[in-house]
Amino acid sequence: MSVTAPAGFEAAGVAAGLKSTGKPDVAVVVNRGPRKVGAAVFTSNRAKANPIIWSQQVIADRVVEAVVLNSGGANCFTGSFGFQTTHQTAEKAAELLDISAGDVLVCSTGLIGTGDEVFRAKVLAGTEQAIATLSADGGDAAAQAIMTTDTVAKTAVVQGDGWTIGGMAKGAGMLAPGLATMLVVVTTDADLEPLEADAALRAATGTTFDRLDSDGCMSTNDQVTLLANGASGVKPDLDAFRSALRGLCQELAVKLQGDAEGASHDITIEVRGAVSEQDAVEVGRSVARNNLFKAAIFGNDPNWGRVLAAIGTTSAQFDPYDVDVWMNDVRVCTAGGPDRPREDVDLTPRATNLVIDLRSGEASATILTNDLTHDYVHENSAYAS
Amino acid sequence: MSVTAPAGFEAAGVAAGLKSTGKPDVAVVVNRGPRKVGAAVFTSNRAKANPIIWSQQVIADRVVEAVVLNSGGANCFTGSFGFQTTHQTAEKAAELLDISAGDVLVCSTGLIGTGDEVFRAKVLAGTEQAIATLSADGGDAAAQAIMTTDTVAKTAVVQGDGWTIGGMAKGAGMLAPGLATMLVVVTTDADLEPLEADAALRAATGTTFDRLDSDGCMSTNDQVTLLANGASGVKPDLDAFRSALRGLCQELAVKLQGDAEGASHDITIEVRGAVSEQDAVEVGRSVARNNLFKAAIFGNDPNWGRVLAAIGTTSAQFDPYDVDVWMNDVRVCTAGGPDRPREDVDLTPRATNLVIDLRSGEASATILTNDLTHDYVHENSAYAS
């Protein structure tokens, strides 16, 4: 059910011809109220796609009634013509839904530089078609329409005490933080104030999507949106809501990791014993972005030297000669020196655990990443995306 | 002739059994004077190998009489036993050469964590063997003995006005800056004061080796050393010397780029129109480290969108919508929008040119990198290194 699991939301996904495969490529999610609370986080990349520039204006008043999303073209670096396409998309949806264009978010994903007349015509026609087929069980169709190189549609639902959260996500590459790292729409029928929704979304994404770092490459189009309509009539316990929202975001983040382009290992990097959470994140990210380490994991090689070489480039507080490293629960390095032999480590399972204990403090953080594989190189060299 | 091209230097390279292939793996370079000026730059990785820790002490007084180098083991994260091995290596060389151990630099390269009793015995025996075969034409043998995954020995010689500079380098992966990024020994018979040598070396490496960024991975063992003995009796014009030294370092850097593990393209990233040189370097490096861009070049895909997505993550001063991009002399992007069609770009040659004009100032910088290939993944996953 994804985004239509909570009461008061409708969605649709249709094929508008943007994808050469003929698969669904335009989705619409509509909030039927009563409240129209919206919150969103965006890519921190300064190279922003037109839909991002548009949506950052729309979200300013924290009122959102609809989201139009397309795959098959990023509408990024397509000039003022491209921005007008985004604007016209919002106007088209607003006209058909009898709402204000200023309350319509637009998201696009696909190849940068794609956004010509043909693209515009298809997006506008697709928006019209999708709105004509909106339904209260259209969440799964919408999730399918935002897929790009994803191999599976990604959805999640969490039940609260009288309220529900639903979500859909697309993303299979270019996974790196910057608040958002993918297209995600999350809906809830809980009754939230705009600032409550905003704070809850930022807290949840900060420790979930923002700590998924598959290949260190930040996209131009990323957006995570939360729509809250209060249709349940329930004002949630805020701690419970925040916890549920974080759980849902983490579930979607793990699904994105599991579908990362060409990956053969899902690597969980847990950094312990840091002086601060920021230090722990910096250390984890340095390993997640080290091609030599990532290639070693692909080769099932527990090369802990590459871990130490990576973390040595950070400014985090620790002594490189007082660090312990575990791979899949085998301590391969103690106090910056060899411990158990590499033969003891079995890296054949897809799920891979790396634990780094900096032995300097009490803070910790976990980063999710993937290995560097032949298939990653193939997918990102053989196809323009 | 490499490091023995200038007068007053001797070198040797021998096989000591550190490499399983039986190829040469221990090199010694000796400065026969009259002056014993030394300068060196080291990896800025905080995870430093034992030879780095030792050599940073040796260089403090700017006097160096000999350098002992080994491949086949990095002697990094090998504990106090490993440090004693480095110390004993310097002591062994000093005893045989009748000099002070405090004037002997030690460099090691190979797998992190390698440095046991067998390693120590072979390094010490190799040092003795190499010193026994020192000769004034041993430069090429020394260059061969420091090779790891290098496919060719890398040497260069520049003639000045009455003086000569010679150099050797090893490096074929893990190429990233931090002052040094490889093992390099440069010799000259020019008559230099210690501070002149130090300043010339730092200036030369800062715009050559430090701007070679093949895979963004910083090593634990990198060192670039300059030995100056004044044997020519000529005090060089300092501008001429600095220019010649920079030229030699650039020649070696290009050779390292050309031999990068698994690479199929040598990519020159020229950033123009930056507000400062620092901005230009940051922008160039963000592209050099972007796996999506590097994979696209491997696939001969002129995907300029990935260039803009990469530079958008920097803090350099420019407007992403006012940037021009050329690939192999074809302007594919003007003012942040599409220009010439991608079909016009021929990326089949190994030498690849990317020009990014930020249109914001007068500063520029050039970064050298490589593409991300199947062979890179293979070399770094199938073999521990």
For the CA atoms of A54, A60, A66, A69, what is the dihedral angle to 10 degrees? 30
In this prediction, residue A179 carries a pLDDT of 40
Q: Which fold has domain A2-258?
A: L-amino peptidase D-ALA esterase/amidase (3.60.70)
Do the chains contact at B76 and A373, CB–CB below 8 Å?
Answer: no
Q: What angle do CA A379, A213, A289 make, to 5 degrees?
A: 85
Task: Report the pLDDT value the prediction gives residue A273, as an integer from 0 to 100.
Answer: 98
Structural contact between residues A245 and A201, judged by C-beta atoms closer than 8 angstroms:
yes
**Average pLDDT of chain B?**
92
What is the rounded CA–CA span in Å between residue B330 and residue B333? 9
pLDDT in tens, B129-167: 999 999 999 999 999 999 988 889 999 999 999 999 999
Q: Does A222 touch chain B (CB under 8 A)?
A: no
The DSSP annotation for B224-258 comes to EEEEE--TT-----HHHHHHHHHHHHHHHHHHHHH
SS3 label, residue A385 = coil
Top CATH class of B266-382 equals alpha beta
The pLDDT of residue B380 is: 81
Closest Cα partner for B13 from B152, B131, B105, B157?
B131
Contacts of A310 in chain B (CB under 8 A): 217
According to DSSP, the residues that pair with B185 across neighbouring strands are: B168, B225
Instruction: Give B260's contacts in chain A (Cβ within 8 Å).
Output: none
Task: Judge whether residue B110 has pLDDT over 50.
Answer: yes
Across the interface, whether the CB atoms of B309 and A217 are under 8 A apart is answered yes
pLDDT-derived band at B181 (thresholds 50, 70, 90) equals low
Asked if A291 and B217 come within 8 Å (Cβ–Cβ), the reply is yes
Sequence ranges of chain B with CATH classification 3.60.70.12: 2-258
Residue bearing the bigger pLDDT, A274 or B183: A274
Give per-residue pLDDT as tens, A319-344: 988 999 999 999 999 998 889 998 99
- B148 annotated to bind ligand: yes
* B320 shares contact with chain A (CB less than 8 Å): yes
Is the ipTM reported for this complex over the cut 0.90? no
Residues of chain A with pLDDT under 50: 175, 177, 179-180
Task: Select from A268, A347, A360 the least CA-distant residue to A314.
Answer: A360
Q: Which residue has the tokens 């500063």?
A: B363
Sign of CA dihedral A246, A247, A248, A254: positive
Residues of chain A positioned with their CB less than 8 A from the CB of B108: none
The single-letter code of the amino acid at B308 is L
Average pLDDT over residues B270-295: 94
pLDDT at A380: 82
> Where do you find CATH 3.10.20.340 in chain A?
266-382
Asked whether residue B180 carries a pLDDT value surpassing 70, the answer given is: no
